[in-house]
Amino acid sequence: MEFKIFTLNCWGIPMVSADRKERMEAIATALANSTYDVVCLQEVWSDADFFLIQEKVKGTLPQSHYFYSGVVGSGVCIFTKHPIIDTHFHKWVINGYVHKVHHGDWFGGKGVALCKIKFHDYIVNVYSTHLHAEYNRKCDEYYSCRIVQAYETAQFIQLTTPGADLVVLAGDLNTEPGDLPYRIMTSLPQLRDSMLEKENVEKFSTNLDLKNSYTPSSLIKKQLPGVRIDYVLFRAGPSTVAILEEYLQPLPELVPNKRFSYSDHEAITSTIIIKKNEIDLSSISLDCRQDVLNDGIEALTKGMISVKGHKIFYWIATLILLTALILTFCFAVPLPGLFHVLRVLLTLAMCYTLVMATLWNMMEYNSLYSTKLAMQVTLRGLEFKS
């Protein structure tokens, strides 16, 4: 049986994303004329956009589910032509910072979505997710956050796949091949990267691609290659074999009759052949999984040290602000109204640094520590198997 899956980060941020309404219409039209078994979309941040796509594709993809979470929704939805028999959404314990409003990841309540699908005589677990964005590769303040998210995703897949004939993870993972989060999500649940499975496939980027109309002109002038951060990862169940038949970018460079692309990301699709009564011998070695876990534990240990440093910084900032606030009451001033405003601002700033030094710092530290302990348990389990 051929199982065809499509994934795209739609870049659907209301009032922010360029040409959003026209692009959503174009995405819905393309999917309505498709033959995909499953479609995984990310960054569908508006209910109206989800319902628009749902209405347009109901003839070809009659089953759908949107995964609500956080303040504005996870942005993740799944459409399929086959019956959805179960769903679940696992929200990660750490999702960035609430005060980084311009990044916005925290408000999405991000996590990993699961749709269990009845595909003819097979059970297929389709997972879709969107990890925290990187923003700055040279100085990545969210590196530990993505490691936690990657590990939770890998463990969630591990714990929910018994009984599945095919396991597929599709989405914007915001990590490049070879990065530690990528290695965690491929090695621990033993998932295979579609691009690497197909011989002689044209290597392409899925974000900041030079052909994409939304790629900054500064990158195009420098001819800097884009990055591959969107994936279809898969593996067979214990009594089936899965073989990749096709892997490609299915959408044209530009929306027909328009001067813009479908999204700032490129869509990808994989066609997987699934068969019963054969054994899929492909697996990732035990040593590889142990190496990944050791690297993850080391990275999270460094992250915890960094969080302790942040705590000291915020406590010092709190004491400085408190001292400044006390001083404003110690001297008579010619402009009491101005000093009243200054006191209010100092009080607000002190409340912020105090919360960051106490509640938020402990939440972040415990999230990293919890994942580190879980990784150590997983590592010990693998050592028992060796």
- Residues with a catalytic annotation lie at 265
- Is 240 strand, coil or helix? strand
Element (H, E) at 143: helix 143-160
In sequence order, which residues have a C-beta less than 8 Å from that of residue 335 and are 6 or more positions away? none
Interatomic CA distance for residues 127 and 108, integer angstroms: 17
Interatomic CA distance for residues 100 and 104, integer angstroms: 6
User: Is-contact 147 184, C-beta < 8 A?
Assistant: yes
Element (H, E) at 302: helix 286-327
Interatomic CA distance for residues 302 and 304, integer angstroms: 5
Interatomic CA distance for residues 87 and 125, integer angstroms: 10
DSSP state of 233: E
How many residues are recorded in the chain? 386
Strand order in the sheet with 77-80: 63-66, 77-80, 38-44, 2-12, 268-276, 240-248
DSSP state of 265: B
- What are the CB-based long-range contacts (under 8 Å, 24+) for 320-328? 321/346, 321/349, 321/350, 321/353, 322/350, 325/350
Outline where 161-206 has alpha helix (H).
180-187, 194-197
Nearest to 3 by CA among 58, 87, 81: 81
User: Tokens at residue 194, please?
Assistant: 């579609």
User: Is-contact 129 153, C-beta < 8 A?
Assistant: yes
Nearest to 229 by CA among 181, 277, 276: 181
What residue has token string 């819905």? 28
